Amino acid sequence: MTAFRRAGRRVLFTRHGPLLPDGSDMILRRRRRDTDSVTTTNTPTLWSKGSFEHEVIAALAPKAGELVIDKNTSSAFNSTGIEWMLRNMGIETLVVAGMATDMCVETTSRDAADRGFNVIIAEDASATFFEHHHRAALSGFARVFGQVWSAGEVIAAVEQAKS
């Protein structure tokens, strides 16, 4: 993010979870999964907007003027106006990073590619619960939808474009 900020590039954040405290805005499958988790482990899998767990971690905290988009679907494109925000800002290429590679990162990235955006997933700035799922998601995405680069490659490209 530092390289993007130094180069004057936009940095946007998405947060996933229910927008309502009772989770009623989530799809039934996700609500059932959360209910099952609470029943079996006493630990929720969904944290609503405003909760500590829903916030961006301090080390990655948005700076003033950076957009934070709350979503309640895996893809940011399915439950927000992100497509129009990106188009209004003149953004054509997205670099996507985050959790979880085989869920939110991949789904958002595929949806962006299907909408005509150029998409790069930063492979070492994304992660998921199992390494083989991470690799499979990146391989499938790179085969058809976009590119997969290391964070170092992304930073080098941003710095080169700046000069």
CATH superfamily of 2-16+57-162: Isochorismatase-like (3.40.50.850)
Q: What is the pLDDT of residue 8?
A: 95
Residues 78, 145: Cα–Cα separation, whole Å: 18
Q: What is the pLDDT of residue 114?
A: 98
Q: What is the pLDDT of residue 45?
A: 86
- The answer to whether 87 and 61 have CB atoms below 8 angstroms apart is no
For CA atoms 58, 123, 81, 75, the dihedral sign is negative
Q: What is the pLDDT of residue 163?
A: 67
Running along the chain, 163 residues long, what does each successive block of 10 average in pLDDT? 95 95 91 91 90 92 96 96 98 97 97 98 97 98 98 96 78
Full 3-state SS string of 83-129? HHHHHHCCCCEEEEEEECHHHHHHHHHHHHHHCCCEEEEEEEEEECC
Q: What is the pLDDT of residue 44?
A: 87
Domain spans in the chain, listed from the N-terminal domain onward:
2-16+57-162
The rounded Cα 158 to chain-centroid distance in angstroms is: 19
Q: Closest Cα to residue 110, out of 59, 76, 158, 133? A: 76
